[in-house]
Structure 1
Amino acid sequence: MSSPTAAAAPAKPAKRVKRNRLSGGFFRFVLTRFLLIIPTVFILVTVVFFVMRATGDPISAALGGRLAPDELQRRIHAAGYDRPIIVQYIDYLGGLLHGDLGTTMTDNQPVVSILTRYGAATLELAILALIIALLVGIPLGRLAAHHRDHASDAGIRIFAILCYATPVFFLGLLLKLVFAVWMNVLPSSGRASLSSEMQFTRLVSPTGLYIVDALQLGDMSVLADVLRHAVLPALALGLLTAGVFIRLVRTNVIATYNSGYVEAARSRGVGEGRLLGKHAWKPALIPIITVMGMQIALMLAGAVLTETTFEWKGLGFMLSTYLKARDFVAVQGIVILIAIIVAVVNFIVDVIAAIIDPRVRY
């Protein structure tokens, strides 16, 4: 009687030590991933700064040929672009630490105001596109796995290939041709009609997210107008990512079907529907979450072409505009913001994956 009692006594402290060790390891994992954002953004800021100046100073790039040589040199000297490049770089880093991203060359606006004014439009488009990608990609991937090697599976795989292989601008033009020109059921460009945008001026504190602003107004006709304008851009950008999700879900559900614990459940007489819903479905979602950060980065890259195609005035549209004008100060600011967004999103995705994926060790 005495020996079992003595053996059981240290069991509780050992279990408690393990729990504390895992908890501390998780927080160290989160802190490490968070701190990695700093060198990631720093490296990208450095690369963008020097690449933007590889062809000369920003003023000559944006205004060269439109100003007299004396006036051009005066502006270059006033902006400090005739100083050594390393001095300009240190000054630029100092400005970043104080939230100063410079002033655009073409329209003389603070870059920060450009980011705040048009960033909400890109955020809204990315959220809507991600919703479409999830609503289309996950159910179709699940259906394809359930009907593996049947006609429906082949059709869904072809659809997935077309989604991620078709250039987003071509898909956007095709959608505009079908739904805006031939069928005339959806608008071809813009975020809202002129009358709806006039309604937004009544708001005391607009968010820039037109769906949220329409809900603030409480006008369902304005909300319907905003949603009608958002359908085609969100569909064009969302289907690009949906193709990736379809193949990920299909591949991982099939792989889970062939795993040992699913075979054991099948041998006990568990039905195929229950195997899919309970045993194979949840593990297949983990890869979706782990690649979400990368897909959002690709989505932001695709937003440049999508916003240009549909004249959706967000950061992608403005980036295209400033690139054409060779306004490298504005381009630099927009690229840096996108880099920060991607780094933060990847950090959040890493943390979520560490929580739900038992294979992650920390």
Structure 2
Amino acid sequence: MTTTAAEVTTPPGAPEQKSRSKVRGGGLGRYILIRFLLIFPTVFILVTLVFLLMRTIGDPITASLGGRLNAEQLQERIHAAGYDRPVIVQYVEYLGQIFTGNFGTTISDNRPISTVLLTYGGATLELAVYALIVAFIVGIPLGMLAAYLRDRWPDAVLRVLAILFYATPVFFAGLLLKLVFGVWLGVLPIAGRATTSTELQMQLLPNKTGIYLIDALQIGDPAIIGDVLSHAVLPAIALGLLTAGVFLRLVRTNVIGTLSADYVDAARSRGVSEFRLVRKHAYKPALIPIITVIGLQIALLLGGAVLTETTFEWKGLGFMLAQYLSARDFVAVQGIVALLAVIVAITNFIVDIVAALIDPRVRY
């Protein structure tokens, strides 16, 4: 019996394998498409809620300038801004502006909100990255240690510590850190993103990014880099510990679950030490849930950034949001919150895709 070239090059079962690969690819593609399409209703709902909540207090002009202008001047400003039109008309116009990237103009200082976002957005992004680094450095090793020492007194202490990290208000943690390291020990600055001299040098950069660490690296002076990093330590710890508590409990739970798997039992029966089992076999599977919740933690970090930036006078979007709330400038508040909603939705989409690529079970 002769064998054809097609039979040699195509082993039995190849059509079935090809079909399975198509299914897998289709599953991932379908998952990405669905997650991408979900961005739009998510942003739409959040923007709508913010718009309606802002309108429950009346028109923004009266809320912001009611005590500084007389009735005639107020009416002129209200009419010029279109706030005397029906709410549904304002809502449709606002949605159109959002889709074109126009978030409006602030009432208190008459600046385009897009300019505010570009000016202060880098500071909030930088703080969020620092806080995530702190959360990873603190939460993951402590979670692995708690799993390794499970059901012993260090495990109980670490679990209580995780609850304290998560439950302690960010502003309270920030005040304690300022008191201990800034006032009592005097080793770290307690306010601002850098000293005045450093900020003046950064303003002279032709390609400044607004992210101080990148700008400091462009200058290349170790003293300036150290100044920027020293100002970031306390805000990053105050905000990062909030997420570190979540990571600690997640890693502990998933490492303990992995240690009860059959392949771990087989390795244990061969005499592999418990520490090596935690470090080699249970570590990576425990990171998958961390990746899946990073999107949610970004929202938590952005919410905590308002209090952290206000506590440390870290001039980012959270700091400006608090200032505009104090000035009752609800147009600016509306624009900043809308942008944060878009950032959170896109971040969740990216994290979901990464999680689906790492763990195929996520996509089904």
TM-score (norm 2): 0.95
- Name the counterpart of 1:283: 285
Distance 2:102 2:264 in 1: 56
Shift of 1:155: 2.5
RMSD across aligned positions (CA): 1.7
SS in 1 for 2:111: coil
Shift of 1:33: 0.6
Distance 1:21 1:160 in 2: 41
2:106 aligned to which of 104, 111, 128 = 104
Percent of counterpart pairs with the same letter?
A: 65
1:315 aligned to which of 295, 301, 317 = 317
1:124 aligned to which of 122, 126, 134 = 126
Shift of 1:175: 0.3
SS in 1 for 2:295: helix
Q: State the number of aligned residues.
A: 360
- Name the counterpart of 2:68: 66
Read off the aligned partner of 1:234 and give its amino acid letter: A
Once the two structures are superposed, the pairs formed by residues 277-356 of structure 1 within 5 Å of their partners are 277-356=279-358
Once the two structures are superposed, the pairs formed by residues 227-306 of structure 1 within 5 Å of their partners are 227-306=229-308
Shift of 1:303: 0.4
- Name the counterpart of 1:26: 28
Distance 2:35 2:192 in 1: 38
Shift of 1:46: 1.1
- Name the counterpart of 1:162: 164
Deviations for 1:168-202, whole angstroms, at most 9, x for unmatched residues?
10000000000111111111100000000011122
- Name the counterpart of 2:17: 15
Read off the aligned partner of 2:307 and give its amino acid letter: L
Read off the aligned partner of 2:269 and give its amino acid letter: S
- Name the counterpart of 2:79: 77
Shift of 1:10: 4.4
Stretches of structure 1 that go unaligned for 5 or more consecutive residues are none
Shift of 1:9: 5.2
CA contact (8 A) 2:31 2:363 kept: no
SS in 1 for 2:361: coil
Distance 1:242 1:156 in 2: 11
Shift of 1:205: 1.4
Distance 1:343 1:139 in 2: 29
Read off the aligned partner of 2:26 and give its amino acid letter: G
Distance 1:331 1:110 in 2: 12
SS in 2 for 1:313: coil
2:138 aligned to which of 129, 136, 139 = 136
CA contact (8 A) 2:144 2:252 kept: yes
Shift of 1:361: 3.7
- Name the counterpart of 2:362: 360
Distance 1:309 1:251 in 2: 33
Deviations for 1:288-316, whole angstroms, at most 9, x for unmatched residues?
11111111111110000000000000000
Shift of 1:360: 2.1
Greater shift, 95-104 or 211-220, is seen at 95-104
Distance 1:337 1:278 in 2: 41
- Name the counterpart of 1:87: 89
